[in-house]
Amino acid sequence: MTVNSQPTTPSVVKALSFYSPQLHRQWRYRVYLPTNYQRLKASGTHFASIYMLHGLYGDETNLTTQADSKAYLDRLIKQTGIPVVAIFPDGGNSFYLNNASSNMESAIVDDLIPKTTATYQLAGQSKRAIGGISMGGYGAARLIFRHPHLFSTGALISPAIWQQVPATVQTNTQIPAFKVNGAFSQRTFEQDQPSRNLPNYLKRVKTPAHFYIETTAKDTTVPVADVNRFVQQLRAQHIQPVYQVDHFGNHNWSYWQHALPLAYRDIFQQFKS
Q: What's the pLDDT at 100?
A: 84
Distance CA 244, CA 239 (A): 15
Coil, helix or strand for 243? strand
Q: Is the pLDDT of residue 1 over 80?
A: no
Q: Is the pLDDT of residue 2 over 60?
A: no
Q: What's the pLDDT at 4?
A: 60
Q: Is the pLDDT of residue 260 over 80?
A: yes
Residue 108 vs residues 23, 121, 267: alpha-carbon distances, Å: 10, 17, 20
Residue % of the chain over a pLDDT of 90: 95
Q: What's the pLDDT at 7?
A: 80
- Confidence class for position 71, pLDDT limits 50, 70, 90: very high
Q: Is the pLDDT of residue 5 over 70?
A: no
Mean pLDDT of 24-37: 98
Write phi, then psi, for 51 (nearest 5 degrees): -100, 120
Mean pLDDT of 170-185: 92
209-238 per-position pLDDT tens digit: 999 999 999 999 999 999 999 999 999 999
Q: Is the pLDDT of residue 196 over 90?
A: yes
Q: What's the pLDDT at 32?
A: 98
Of 54-58, 73-77, 115-119, 179-183, least confident by mean pLDDT is: 179-183
- Confidence class for position 79, pLDDT limits 50, 70, 90: very high
| Strand-by-strand arrangement of the 242-246 sheet | 12-20, 25-33, 84-89, 48-53, 128-133, 153-157, 210-216, 242-246
Of 91-95, 174-178, 238-242, least confident by mean pLDDT is: 174-178
Q: Work out the angle at residue 31's Cα, subtended by the Cα atoms of residues 29 and 33, and round it to the nearest 5 degrees.
A: 170
Q: Is the pLDDT of residue 3 over 70?
A: no
Q: What's the pLDDT at 137?
A: 98
Q: Is 252 exposed, middle or buried (0-12, 13-18, 19+ CB in 10 A)?
A: middle
Q: Which of 122, 121, 124, 114 has its CA nearest to residue 149?
A: 124
Strand (E) or helix (H) holding 269: helix 253-272
- Confidence class for position 6, pLDDT limits 50, 70, 90: confident
pTM above 0.95, yes or no: yes
102-152 per-position pLDDT tens digit: 999 999 999 999 999 999 999 999 999 999 999 999 999 999 999 999 999
